[in-house]
């Protein structure tokens, strides 16, 4: 029996819902997890990285990145909570892309506090997403509960628990967004506030993933309008040689990942702090290997290449940077 068939059987026997969300939406993720637990009598398991009180998150001392990948691989479904804070954000798109691109796992977008049409953008435009209304949420929960072998979901129980969930979400969104309802229909004052801050939101929320046809069209037009600069890896070698301090070189290289691969930037900066504070060779060696694995997984990822990389020059840039970063990290660790 093929390995992927064995994995599919395991998912059907032990369904797991991976709840993908922005860290700021941790309360919403917890509420959704509690909803699944209530309607399934605790049988339907879920995983969410923000869990700090139970056993649905990452345990202390565990390497966070491999743990996330492991749970995505084990998930029967990936539910993405689409809110003002999470739409177009790198991590939720990365998790959804990893699940769909690598494993063909069902991606279920749930719009909470935003209009369904606004949530169904970018990569999520290709999926049948779920709105925040009672009927849609009931249908979604029913679908997830039926993942449990031989389950017989009780419709009245699901309706009751979905109603409680929607009330909880409204309270959470009041704290996070101000007055609004779960379906994303804002009060007049909130609409004015959003319109006044649209410029700031535009700067913060970068469009990191677009539909492939849009990218093809953009590339075709841009190549005809301007001459592309040739990339040469030696230019980075020369740039880094201006500084005798490996820390500065590492920070310069990491900064190039900051916008498109923030998880690489954050882990690299964390490693620098560890190198400065730790004198234990074993700890230092382990931290360097962790960063090396993260760099390889991120830059050699087909999903990243398809949706994040703009052109050939940028592709070579992200392929070359890991070598330069690791070389300077080793120089700093000596």
Domains, the chain, ranges and CATH? Answer: 3-204 (3.40.50), 212-333 (no CATH)
For residue 230, what pLDDT band results from cuts at 50, 70 and 90?
A: very low
pLDDT tens digits, residue range 19-73?
999 888 999 999 999 999 999 988 999 999 888 766 778 877 777 778 888 888 8
Mean residue pLDDT of the chain comes to 76
Tokens of 63: 């390497």
Report residue 165's pLDDT band, with 50, 70 and 90 as the boundaries. Answer: very high
Q: What pLDDT score was predicted for residue 304? A: 64
Question: Which pLDDT score, from 0 to 100, does residue 238 have?
Answer: 58
Q: What is the mean pLDDT of residues 96-111?
A: 80
- What's the whole-number mean pLDDT along residues 164-181? 86
Give residue 236's pLDDT: 58
Given a cut of 60, whether residue 202 has pLDDT beyond it is: no
Whether the per-residue pLDDT at 126 is higher than 60: the answer is yes
Section 297-323 average pLDDT = 70
Whether the full predicted model's pTM is greater than 0.85, yes or no, is no
Give me the sheet containing 107-111, strands edge to edge: 45-47, 16-20, 77-82, 107-111
Position 20 scores a pLDDT of 92
């Amino acid at each position: 029996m093929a390995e992927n068939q064995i994995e599919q059987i395991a998912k059907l026997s032990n369904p797991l819902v991976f709840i993908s969300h922005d860290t700021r939406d941790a309360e919403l993720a917890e509420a959704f997890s509690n909803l699944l637990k209530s309607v399934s009598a605790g049988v339907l398991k879920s995983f969410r990285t923000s869990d700090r009180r139970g056993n649905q998150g990452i345990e202390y001392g565990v390497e966070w990145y491999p743990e996330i990948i492991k749970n995505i691989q084990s998930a029967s479904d990936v539910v993405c909570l689409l809110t003002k804070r999470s739409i177009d954000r790198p991590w939720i798109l990365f998790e959804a892309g990893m699940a769909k691109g690598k494993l063909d796992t069902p991606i279920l977008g749930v719009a909470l506090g935003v209009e369904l049409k606004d949530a169904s953008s970018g990569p999520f435009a290709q999926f049948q997403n779920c709105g925040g209304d009672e009927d849609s949420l009931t249908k979604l929960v029913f679908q997830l509960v039926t993942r449990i072998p031989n389950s017989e979901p009780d419709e009245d129980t699901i309706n009751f628990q979905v109603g409680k969930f929607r009330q909880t979400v409204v309270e959470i969104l009041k704290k996070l967004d101000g007055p609004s309802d779960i379906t994303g229909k804002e009060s007049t004052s909130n609409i004015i506030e959003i319109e006044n801050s649209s410029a700031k939101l535009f700067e913060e929320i970068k469009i990191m993933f677009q539909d492939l046809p849009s990218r093809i069209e953009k590339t075709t037009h841009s190549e005809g309008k301007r001459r592309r600069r040739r990339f040469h890896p030696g230019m980075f070698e020369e740039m880094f040689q201006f500084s005798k301090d490996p820390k500065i070189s590492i920070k310069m290289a990491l900064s190039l990942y900051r916008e498109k691969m923030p998880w690489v930037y954050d882990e690299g900066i964390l490693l620098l702090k560890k190198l400065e504070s730790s004198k234990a060779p074993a700890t230092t060696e382990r931290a360097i290997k962790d960063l090396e694995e993260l760099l390889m997984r991120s830059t050699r990822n087909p999903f990243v290449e398809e949706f994040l990389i703009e052109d050939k020059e940028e592709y070579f840039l992200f392929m070359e940077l890991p070598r330069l970063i690791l070389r300077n990290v080793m120089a700093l660790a000596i």
